[in-house]
Amino acid sequence: MTDSATPDLADRSALALRSAIADGATSAAEVAEALLARIALHEPEFGAFAFIDPARVRTEARAQDQWQRGKRPLGWLHGLPVAVKDIIDAAGMPTENGTPLDAGRVPARDAAVVARLREAGAIVLGKTVTTELGAMHPRGTRNPRNPAHTPGGSSSGSAAAVAAGMAPLAVGTQTNGSVIRPASFCGIVGFKPTFGTIARTGILPQATPLDTVGVFARSVADAALLVDALAAHDPADPDSSNHPPHGLLDAALSPLATAPSFAFVRTTSWPVANETTRRAFEALAARLGDACREETLPPDFADAIPAHTAIAFAGIARHYGSYYDRGRDQLSDPIRRTIEAGRDVLAVAYLAALDVREALYAELADVLERYDAILTPAAPGEAPAGLGSTGNPAFNTLWSLCGMPAVSLPLLSGPTGLPVGVQLVGRRGDDARLLRAASWLMRFVK
């Protein structure tokens, strides 16, 4: 057996840990100890966790080891610790949604995603810091690549925990850029599957036509492993897919005989990218040669951000209005202003925005008939300095609006050496094809 003090256990991939636990080369308890030691070392600096109870983690790990000693079938994620964003309910753990208005809130039931984790044999490592109500106002988490910079948001703690080696896997959510952008800033893999792939029951809603559960990992295969465990229909979530994508791990691990095809798309947000990012993406597209061609989106794609804003602001007003009414003075200025603006969104504007979403997706689906994935930045550049903002989601809005699967790959860097993610986007429901292309690109660039 591996000694519990082995320094590299916390740095191993989720797939490697899963194999080592299943083979008896290490145990769930030893993995938990390695991660708890890493958390004790780094958490004071990075502030990724809103709640963690080492005794609970040790108890869950021992229970998984006892299950294995009984020669029982092992779950898909047997013994793997997974960190969970603090807008996702976990029974018996504080879930405070990043606001003092929910201080002391302890749900009695697991969210559907947490229930799936437990069914798969995973250990809930802890609850990770989120921005206020999973929106835009940060709550102090620092970027492990440079603590003077934001880790992004709203899934701030989930991204930071994986980047710092405090968790091999983490769950987040995305309504605009809350998985892809933090993954880019923290230099890890972030995967937002097709809208409706992972049920949202028991998760604080923000804008239900947009809200999507996503994951953070150190590799494309690890991200696929986690989504394979979480993807399932839930009748309690009206947007939950009846046929969510599966076999994602096999897709991520399957070598391609020929290079996939990429559509280099600048989007209407291209001017927001800094010069270093623009040059890096142009160079990557050139390096891909015949495997990559540039596609220009028509002018109507300028409607994407206003449409997303109408849907998101109306949703925030609906779901967070009760917080505003009972504790306006305990909310940040940005969320107060957003709720107020959302209350002014007319029904006709909201319905028109939903129409825009489907019209734009139809055009993008046509593009993806000719390509395996769209290639575009995950963020305008490196993580901004300071902790007052989580960065600009301009390069995420279109794909979130259209409910398309997207993945951020840690392949580029900015002028100060901080990471910049390469974003690949696929057709709805074609997540396996997207991940095959992502795995190929990781090997090609590295």
Determine the residue type at 168.
P
Q: Nearest-CA neighbor of 231 among 248, 209, 217?
A: 248
Contacts of 392 (CB under 8 A, 6+ apart): 272, 379, 380
Active site residue 439: no
Q: Which residues of 5-39 are buried (b: 16+ CB within 10 A; e: fewer)?
A: ebeebbebbbbbbbebbeeeebbbbbbbbbbbbbb
Quick one: 299 exposed, middle or buried, by C-beta within 10 A (0-12, 13-18, 19+)? exposed
Query: Which stretches of 47-146 are DSSP H helices?
Result: 54-69, 112-119
Give Cα separations from 15 to 80, 222, 390 (angstroms).
9, 6, 30
- Judged by DSSP in three states, 315 sits in helix
Longest CA–CA span in the chain (Å) reads 64
What token pair was written down for 169?
């896997």
Q: Indicate the SS3 state at residue 82.
A: strand
| Catalytic, out of 27, 85, 400, 439 | 85
Q: Give strand ranges (E) for 212-305.
A: 212-217, 262-264, 292-294
254 a catalytic residue: no
Of residues 5, 413, 407, the one with CA closest to residue 222: 407
Q: How far is CA 144 from the centre of its chain?
A: 17
**Are the C-beta atoms of residues 153 and 179 closer than 8 Å to each other?**
no
Residue 19 is among the residues annotated as catalytic for this protein: no
- Active-site residue, from 27, 178, 241, 269: 178
Q: Given the residues 27, 127, 154, 192, select the one marked as catalytic.
A: 154
SS3 323: helix
Bond from prior residue into 27 cis (ω within 30 degrees of 0): no
Q: How many CB atoms lie within 10 A of CB 188?
A: 29
Closest to 260 (Cα-Cα) out of 122, 58, 98, 424:
424
In this structure, the dihedral spanned by the alpha carbons of residues 301, 302, 304 and 309, taken in order and rounded to 10 degrees, is: 180
Amino acid in the structure at residue 213: V
Catalytic machinery residues:
85, 154, 178
